[in-house]
A and B are shown apart, each in its own frame.
Chain A
Amino acid sequence: MSEPQALTFTPRDNIHTEPRVIRFVIVALAVLFLLIFVVLPLIVVFASAFSRGLSAYFAALTEPEALSAIRLTLLIAAISVSLNLVFGVIAAWAIAKFEFAGKTFLVTLIDLPFSVSPVISGLVFVLLFGAQGFFGPWLQAHDIRVLFAVPGIALATIFVTFPFVARALIPLMQEQGTQEEEAAISLGASGLQTFFRVTLPNIKWGLLYGVLLCNARAMGEFGAVSVVSGHIRGETNTMPLLVEILYNEYQFVSSFAIASLLAMLALITLVVKTILERRLDEGQVPSDD
């Protein structure tokens, strides 16, 4: 978020601001609300994870089941982020650099996964690839596992993280316009040269921003993955699924140990995101008209 323009208040300025009492009450309410609803749950995660000490914490994280969940989560994130990265850039190029009818509708379609319940995002793949699904019998006949295996989990994750990269790039690329690309073309550059030498350097922070959010969601997705994973221990459990299983088995320390890793991921994501947002704000060209 950009820094608001500094308003300087004189003590008795009743034109620009409210009386001091009201100001105090509003700030106190806001701070209290955020502390109770956001900060406290976050602290609970770490407090519970470390409640039996460091050794219990690290023991929980080095359990074979935990390690396999971490590996699977990284694999799924790698697959879904890289695919969405490529297609996000491609979609943003088509949408931001060209004019065509139905553009708004296309953007709405790309945004669609954000409005679909995660459970439904998983369900649609069960209906396609499940035993009773459209492709189920064919897959079974050819002995291909999609559901309750890596491909299904990856598909559901790609579905829920679909919009992130395109969404981060489209407004940025629209704002930058096509002039620099036109200049490059008129100077003799090919399409790919133009993209890699002119477009990509201009959108790199926005791209990183999209990838960051995409990755955070890919690693943390629960509902959609839960529906398609089948919860096969040591095989198809991602970190969020393992958090659930351990919690339901009253292994609170182990559950919160895994949860603390995910919470750390979220915090790092937020820090990097804030830095990137500042970069993006600075990167905006001062318009000369």
Chain B
Amino acid sequence: MNGVPRRRSTLPGFGLTMGLTLTWLSVIILIPLAGLFLKTFDLSLEQFWGIVTSRRTLNALRISFGLSFLAACVNLVMGMVVVWALVRYRFPGRRLFDAIVDIPFALPTAVAGVALTQLFAQKGWLGAPLAELGIKVAFTPVGIFIAMVFIGIPFVVRTVQPVLLDLDVEIEEAAASLGANRWHTVFRVILPSLIPAMLTGFALAFARAVGEYGSVIFIAGNLPNVSEIAPLLIVIRLSEFRYADATAIAVVMLLAAFIIIFAVNRLQRWAQTRIPAH
């Protein structure tokens, strides 16, 4: 080979920036996470299994995953209502409400936690009337559910909104010209093309709720086996210096998170093949 060039790309800095990126990523993210997995090897398989399947851990996981699922379902339905109203209708304050959707993203979780607790406490603005109806929210699993709904609001709205905005009006006109009534058009033509985005939003809201800590612990009551979420149990085990226990629960939650990321990635790829971007 003669004259094989020394440089392979026009823009400079690939080696340097890639090297720095990988180094920084390793130091901050990969090595610490690897340390977590390494730590579990301190435990035998039976020990690990014993921790994960102990009554308190199982209940905490059940509460975290179960309530997160319920909250994500509510977020899916209400998110669709909100996104439909924001995209399809004109009403006073629409742009303000559009901005408001992001507040759960922006508000620090501890602030959300104390605010929701205050609101739903027995003497709170909403807690008092609900108490009269015999519904107790704060310091019960219902409170956890409420907090999870709060932090999950933006996900479905923000994933579906751009897709719905991009949807061609001609599709609806075509459906109408083919004799579909509005009901058919919405449920057979529009909603099916939103499904990938809806599922993605659902998965993101679910994942966020499972890992959520700050906004939940104030309102939860934190009664073991009843209203104790998995992240709180990790913190409790840490404060008891039972690092192995904390690590085992963390690994289970991390694996669940990875599965969700994987599912979301697949969903997005599926959406791209089904509805090619224009």
Interface residue ranges, A against B (CB under 8 Å)? 1-2, 4-5, 7, 14-19, 23, 26-27, 29-31, 33-34, 36-42, 44-45, 48, 87, 90-91, 93-95, 97-98, 100, 106, 108-113, 115-120, 123-128, 130, 132-134, 155, 158-159, 162, 178, 181-182, 185, 190-191, 194-195, 216, 219-223, 226-227, 239-241, 243-244, 247, 252, 255-256, 259, 262-263, 265-267, 269-271, 273-274
Contact = CB atoms under 8 A, between A and B. Distances in A.
A117 B125 contact: no
A191 B238 contact: no
Instruction: Give the 9 A-B CB pairs with smallest separation, nearest first.
Output: A220-B108, A117-B211, A191-B12, A222-B214, A223-B213, A124-B32, A30-B85, A41-B115, A94-B17
20 contacts: A1-B161, A14-B181, A15-B182, A15-B185, A17-B89, A19-B182, A38-B104, A41-B150, A87-B21, A98-B18, A109-B25, A111-B261, A112-B29, A117-B210, A117-B213, A117-B253, A119-B211, A123-B250, A191-B11, A222-B110
Contacts of B185: 15
B235 interface: yes
A44 B118 contact: yes
Interface residues of B, number: 97
Majority-rule SS of B interface residues: helix
Contact of A37 (B20, B150, B218): B150
Contact of A120 (B36, B125, B161): B36
A37 B101 CA distance: 10
A144 B110 CA distance: 30
B48 interface: no
Contacts of A221: 108
A227 B28 contact: no
A185 B100 contact: no
A109 B36 contact: no
Contact of A117 (B13, B103, B257): B257
A120 to B, nearest CB: 5
B260 A130 contact: no
